[in-house]
Structure 1
């Protein structure tokens, strides 16, 4: 057999390829995300990839990917401590260095800070050996369904002030009420949320051009333009629904807006709950109002949710549906959204009820 001078180089590249596959296989995925060959694709708000590693240095390879290239953001948590929000520049995948100090054994979690509408963040590996993590199957699980509030839109102004940059430059799903509450309760979580979306209409659309939540919920990418189905492998013990802020909104005040249609809202909500039960019949549901709505609108909101719950009063198959009313707040984030501290207040209000519901047998 003749010696091939190119053989060592070929072996090296094969090693790199196999190592990349091994790295992706070793990581844990949470939220709306998927593995595609040697890539881990983060799709929804606060979807995450996590892994263990040993050493005092780390670089990770990430890419912001969309049909129209633009930047994205991820939030980093090292050994249970929040590090920072990292801007993932548009274009080809790049290496990003993560500050590492202290003990030799570490756990990194990379959360997508932006939402599904911003495209995906793709993780392709690290410059160190990735170690597997223990299973979290025994932990309680919560799904948070909602709109921009649930996404964490406009809540992080530490680096980019409101009114500057892109509309998503203040997104940080890590500091949304759902992830904050889940960390407090030591629960795994999933965010199924889209900014501006509603139950029968959206913030500035009478369900003419834009899809509503019941139309995108079963799609992995939460988009009417995607045919890929969500597999519902995440089996939540508790499902929280916070939709109605946009249905009840007056839009931008410029585009014609019809009066709120209580009958359409309630009918769509009931049908949506039935859809949820087809995928997660074991889950306990809790319907939330909005801290952004008060006065007569809130009274209408509560009445609608009570009608939805009443429609399932005779349901002996599923667990009773709970109702939670937020206290009104004056939000301090961008575009009349809660900021990080406001989200902490929301999480604190929900904590006792969610703990009680998760502890039920």
Structure 2
């Protein structure tokens, strides 16, 4: 499917075999989001749902030959799936109802997923709208299994669909697809609902190359709406049995700059201490039974991340929390062909395979 920008509210958005997608009208509270299933961090507002994190998805069922998707998002891209197949990609969809038409008669499942990152913006989903002669049916049930993925650009799928490592800002947005990142791939293999709470460039205590001092990933973790300071997302209904944390690439991938408040040694200490506090936060939210995976990966020319992550787990286990586990995946078999030498789509498949094998060893009670 070739990506086309939405240039007007009434515009052709995409074409696919057996149907088409068009955008008409404006988003309206007349089409509330229920019945719809989502596991993402969303907040109700004016009959719709607001959200910010990548990978947020909405699932529904309908009867008929067409269905509308009400969206308003000038910053992010979406894939629209019908019966498990991607039928369109909506690029920064204008406020309105984007209609899938030309479908076979009968009952269908629809899934809409936010592909890209837009932490500076707030996205809006207004629900599914029945086509002429059709009906929106009861939403699919929530899945019993739940997984939360916490991380940075690797977890977000940064530029993973790109055919080149050199990308403009626009190309980066178009080729980032959280739904094809290792977290989403792994969750689908286990039939689990999931959240991809990822923020590129952020570290546990230090962001990439020391950028944005005074903030880090933890500054934003509690939020549903990333651009709203003080926002807090309630966790009711969300109780993941598995939490996979991948933070530290940005902490350690560049040398400490003059003027930063660390040396290489004190940075590692601050990282470990902050990680223990972050695990305390996760324990308070999700209870003692959740398995928390502290993941690490290859970072060029340093073992600092792997060493620190292993120490975090060893310290935690020594304190009696044996449901914190360490998982390392190396660079073997990875081409890093995505934007800015990030994992490619093929790499994410490899990482998902490795994570699936690791999760199988955990003997989760789910």
* Superposition TM-score, scaled by structure 1 size: 0.82
CA distance, structure 2, for counterparts of residue 154 and residue 170 of structure 1 = 5
**Corresponding residue for 2:6?**
none
More strand by share: 2
| Corresponding residue for residue 31 of structure 2 | 20
Give CA-to-partner distance per residue, 1:316-355, whole Å, 9 cap, x none: 4x54211111121330100121121111111011111113
Q: More displaced, 325-334 or 115-124?
A: 115-124
Name the SS for the 2:89 alignment partner.
strand
Other structure's SS at 1:86 match: strand
- 1:107–1:250: structure 2 CA closer, same or farther, 3 Å change rule? same
Asked whether 1:321 is paired with 2:324, we answer yes
Cα distance in 1, alignment partners of residues 234 and 191 from structure 2: 24
Could you tell me which residue of structure 2 aligns to residue 286 of structure 1?
A: 293
SS in 2 for 1:41: strand
State the alpha-carbon separation in 1 of the partners of residues 208 and 159 from structure 2.
16
Q: Distance in 2 between matches of 1:106 and 1:246?
A: 42
Q: Determine which of 33, 46, 60 is the counterpart of 2:55.
A: 46
Q: Secondary structure at the match of 2:254?
A: coil
Residue 289 of structure 1 aligns to a residue whose secondary structure is strand
Confirm or deny: 8 A CA contact 2:241 2:364 kept in the other structure: no
1:157 and 1:190 map into 2 onto residues whose CA distance is 23
Q: CA deviation at 1:206?
A: 5.5
User: 1:174-189 residue pairs with structure 2 within 5 A?
Assistant: 174-189=179-194
CA distance in 1, matches of 2:342, 2:357: 24
Task: Confirm or deny: 8 A CA contact 2:203 2:247 kept in the other structure.
Answer: yes
Query: Aligned with 1:85: secondary structure?
Result: strand
Where 1:201 maps in the other structure, the secondary structure is: coil
The 3-state SS of whatever aligns with 2:252 is coil
Listed as ranges, the gaps of 5+ residues in structure 1 are 1-15, 65-69
Distance in 2 separating the partners of 1:103 and 1:294 = 53
Q: Which residue of 2 aligns with 1:331?
A: 336
Aligned with residue 265 of structure 1, among 264, 267, 271: 271
Partner of 2:71: 62
Q: Does the 8 A contact of 1:42 with 1:120 survive in 2? A: yes
Q: Per-residue deviation at 1:219?
A: 1.9
| Counterpart position of 1:230 | 233
Instruction: Specify whether residues 359 and 82 from structure 1 end up closer, same or farther in structure 2 by C-alpha distance, changes over 3 A only.
Output: farther
Question: How many Å apart are 1:42 and its aligned residue?
Answer: 3.4
The whole-number CA distance in structure 2 between the counterparts of 1:17 and 1:80 is 27
CA distance in structure 2 between the partners assigned to 1:259 and 1:74 by the alignment: 42
1:29 pairs with 2:38: yes
Structure showing greater radius of gyration is: 1
Change in CA separation of 1:326 and 1:162 when aligned onto 2, cut-off 3 Å = same
Distance 1:145 1:238 in 2: 11
Residue 223 of structure 2 corresponds to 219
> SS where residue 232 of structure 1 aligns?
coil
Q: TM-score, normalised by structure 2?
A: 0.81
Taking the TM superposition and a 5 Å limit, the aligned residue runs for 1:47-126 are: 47-64=56-73, 70-89=74-93, 93-98=95-100, 101-102=103-104, 104-126=106-128
Bigger mean CA deviation after superposition, 269-278 or 38-47: 38-47
The corresponding residue for 2:177 is 172
1:244 aligns with 2:252: no
Contiguous gaps of at least 5 residues in structure 2 = 1-26
- CA 1:346–1:121 in structure 2 vs 1: closer, same or farther (change >3 Å)? same
- Structure 1 residues 327 and 352 mapped into 2: Cα distance closer, same or farther (>3 Å)? same
- Give, in angstroms, the shift of residue 167 of structure 1: 4.3
**Residues matched between the structures, number:** 329
Could you tell me how far 1:27 is from its partner in structure 2? 1.1
**Is the alpha carbon distance of 1:161 and 1:327 closer, same or farther for their aligned partners in structure 2, counting shifts above 3 Å?**
closer
Residues 162, 170 of structure 1: 8 Å contact kept: no
Q: CA deviation at 1:236?
A: 0.4
Distance between the aligned counterparts of 2:65 and 2:163, measured in 1?
28
Please give the secondary structure, in 1, of the residue aligned with 2:183.
helix
8 A Cα contact 1:63 1:121, kept in partner? yes
Q: Structure 1 residues 30, 97: closer, same or farther in 2, change over 3 A?
A: same
